[in-house]
C-alpha cells in the first residue's frame, strides 16, 4: 500500500461514503423512530425500503425512459418518483403496523412476540415480491422472481465539479442533497410541530401523553408513516444510484441502516443521521486500506468498538436517564 494511493483515493471514497451514508441514514430514521415510540425493532422496515425501490421502478417502467434525463425534467421525475415511493412505502408501513403489530399491542403481547411478528412480516413481504409481484407485475418470472430486476439509467454519471482530487458526480450529489432535504423536513416536523411533540411526548411517557389528549394509536400510525416515507425516498435514491433492485435488496441495507441507528444511539433522530453518515464513510475509508470486500467487516468492527465504550451509541442517552 503506497501512501500516495491512499491520498488519491481518500477524496473519492469520502464522496462515495457520504452518498451511501445518506441512504443508510434515511432508512435508519425509520428504525429509530419506531424504536423511540414502541421500543420495538421493526425488522420488516427493510422490506418497506424494498417496496420503495419497486414503487420507483414501477413508475419508471410506465414512463419508459429512452434516455437519461437532465435539468428540469430530471428534477420533475425525481419529485414524482419520491412522492409515489413515499406514498407507497408509507402506506405499506402503516398497513404493516395495523396487521402485524397493533393486534399484538392491543392484547398486551410481550415485545418478543412483536419481534417475531416483525421477522415474520419481513419474510412474508420478501416472498410476496418474489412469488407474485416480481413475476406478475414486473413480468420477470425466471427463477421464481428471485433474479435482480434492472431499472433504466435515470441520470448520467457526469462529473459536476471537483473538490481537491475528488470528483462529485451528478447522481451522488442528488443522493446527498435529496437525503439532506428530507432530513431537514423531518427534523422540522419532529421539533417544531404538534405531531413531533406528540411523538416525543409518547416516546418519553406514553401514560402522561395519553392523559394530555394524545392518541397513542394515532401517533404510532404517524410514526410508521413517516419512517416508511423516508425509506421510500431511500428506495428511489438507491434505484437511481444502482439501477437494479431485487426482492432481497432490503436485507443488507436494512442491517446496515439498523447498525447506523444503534451506532448513533437508537431512539435519537440526529443519532440516526450521524450513524448513517459515519458508517458510510468508515466503510469506504476502510476499503482503501483493506479492499472493498472487507467493507462489511470493517463496519461491524467499528460498531462493536463504539458500543464497547458507549453502549448507548454516540448520541444515545441511557434509557434510565432519559426516563428519569
Partner 1 sequence: MNDRTTLRLENVTMRFGGVVAMCGVDLRVEEGQIAALIGPNGAGKTTVFNVITGVCRPTEGSVYFEGRRIDGMKRFRIAKAGIARTFQNIRLFANMSALENVMVGTDAHHRTGAVGAALGLPWHRAEEKAGRQKAAELLEFVGIAGKSAETAKNLPYGDQRRLEIARALATEPKLLLLDEPAAGMNPAEKRSLQELIRRIRDSGRTVLLIEHDMGLVMDISDRVSVLDFGQKIAEGPPREVRANAKVIEAYLGATADAS
Q: Which residues here bind partner 1, judged by CB under 8 A? A: 185-186, 188-189, 192-198, 200-201, 204-205, 207-216, 222, 225-226, 322-324
Question: Closest approach of Cβ 315 to partner 1, in Å?
Answer: 13
Question: Closest approach of Cβ 78 to partner 1, in Å?
Answer: 17
Strands (E), the chain: 149-150, 159-163, 166-169, 244-245
Question: Closest approach of Cβ 131 to partner 1, in Å?
Answer: 34
> Is residue 300 helix, strand or coil?
helix
Whole-number Å distance between alpha carbons of 226 and 91: 10
Nearer to partner 1, 108 or 213 (CB): 213
Three cell numbers written together for 227:
419512517
Nearer to partner 1, 219 or 303 (CB): 219
Whole-number Å distance between alpha carbons of 156 and 166: 18
Question: Closest approach of Cβ 213 to partner 1, in Å?
Answer: 3
Nearer to partner 1, 308 or 324 (CB): 324
Whole-number Å distance between alpha carbons of 275 and 264: 4
Nearer to partner 1, 23 or 229 (CB): 229
DSSP string, 9-70: HHHHHHHHHHHHHHHHHHHHHHHHHHHHHH----TTHHHHHHHHHHHHHHHHHHHT-SS-B-
Cross-strand pairs, 155: 69
Nearer to partner 1, 191 or 292 (CB): 191
Nearer to partner 1, 176 or 226 (CB): 226
Whole-number Å distance between alpha carbons of 263 and 314: 6
Which among 32, 94, 118, 81 has a CA at the least distance from the CA of 238? Answer: 81
Cross-strand pairs, 244: 150
Question: Closest approach of Cβ 194 to partner 1, in Å?
Answer: 4
Please say whether the beta carbons of 41 and 28 come within 8 A: no
Question: Closest approach of Cβ 177 to partner 1, in Å?
Answer: 17
Question: Closest approach of Cβ 260 to partner 1, in Å?
Answer: 22
Q: Number of helices (H) and strands (E) in the chain: give both, helices first.
A: 13, 4
Whole-number Å distance between alpha carbons of 220 and 98: 10
Nearer to partner 1, 164 or 218 (CB): 218
Nearer to partner 1, 197 or 295 (CB): 197
Which among 228, 249, 226 has a CA at the least distance from the CA of 54? Answer: 249
Question: Closest approach of Cβ 186 to partner 1, in Å?
Answer: 7
Looking at the chain, how many residues does it have?
324
Amino acid at each position: 500500500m503506497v501512501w500516495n494511493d491512499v491520498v488519491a483515493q481518500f477524496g473519492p471514497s469520502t464522496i462515495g461514503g457520504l452518498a451511501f451514508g445518506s441512504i443508510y441514514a434515511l432508512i435508519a430514521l425509520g428504525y429509530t423512530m419506531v424504536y423511540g415510540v414502541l421500543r420495538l425493532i421493526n425488522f420488516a422496515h427493510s422490506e418497506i425500503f424494498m417496496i420503495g425501490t419497486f414503487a420507483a421502478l414501477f413508475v419508471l417502467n410506465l414512463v419508459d425512459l429512452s434516455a437519461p434525463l437532465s435539468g428540469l425534467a430530471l428534477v420533475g421525475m425525481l419529485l414524482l418518483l419520491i412522492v409515489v415511493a413515499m406514498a407507497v412505502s408509507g402506506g405499506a408501513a402503516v398497513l404493516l403496523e395495523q396487521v402485524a403489530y397493533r393486534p399484538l399491542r392491543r392484547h398486551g403481547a410481550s415485545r418478543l412476540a412483536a419481534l417475531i411478528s416483525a421477522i415474520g412480516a419481513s419474510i412474508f413481504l420478501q416472498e410476496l415480491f418474489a412469488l407474485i409481484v416480481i413475476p406478475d407485475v414486473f413480468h420477470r418470472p425466471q427463477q421464481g422472481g428471485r433474479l435482480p430486476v434492472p431499472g433504466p439509467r435515470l441520470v448520467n454519471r457526469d462529473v459536476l465539479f471537483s473538490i481537491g482530487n475528488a470528483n462529485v458526480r451528478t447522481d451522488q450529489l442528488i443522493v446527498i442533497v435529496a437525503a439532506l432535504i428530507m432530513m431537514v423536513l423531518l427534523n422540522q416536523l419532529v421539533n417544531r410541530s404538534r405531531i413531533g411533540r406528540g411523538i416525543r411526548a409518547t416516546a418519553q411517557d406514553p401514560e402522561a401523553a395519553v392523559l394530555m389528549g394524545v392518541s397513542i394509536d394515532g401517533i404510532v400510525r404517524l410514526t410508521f408513516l413517516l419512517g416508511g416515507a423516508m425509506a421510500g425516498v431511500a428506495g428511489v435514491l438507491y434505484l437511481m444510484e444502482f439501477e437494479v433492485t431485487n426482492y432481497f435488496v432490503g436485507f443488507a441495507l436494512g442491517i446496515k441502516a439498523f447498525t447506523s441507528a444503534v451506532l448513533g444511539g437508537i431512539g435519537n433522530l440526529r443519532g440516526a443521521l450521524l450513524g448513517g453518515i459515519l458508517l458510510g464513510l468508515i466503510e469506504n475509508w476502510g476499503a482503501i486500506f483493506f479492499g472493498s470486500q472487507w467493507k462489511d467487516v470493517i463496519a461491524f468492527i467499528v460498531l462493536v468498538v463504539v458500543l464497547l465504550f458507549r453502549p448507548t451509541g454516540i448520541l444515545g442517552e441511557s434509557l434510565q436517564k432519559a426516563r428519569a
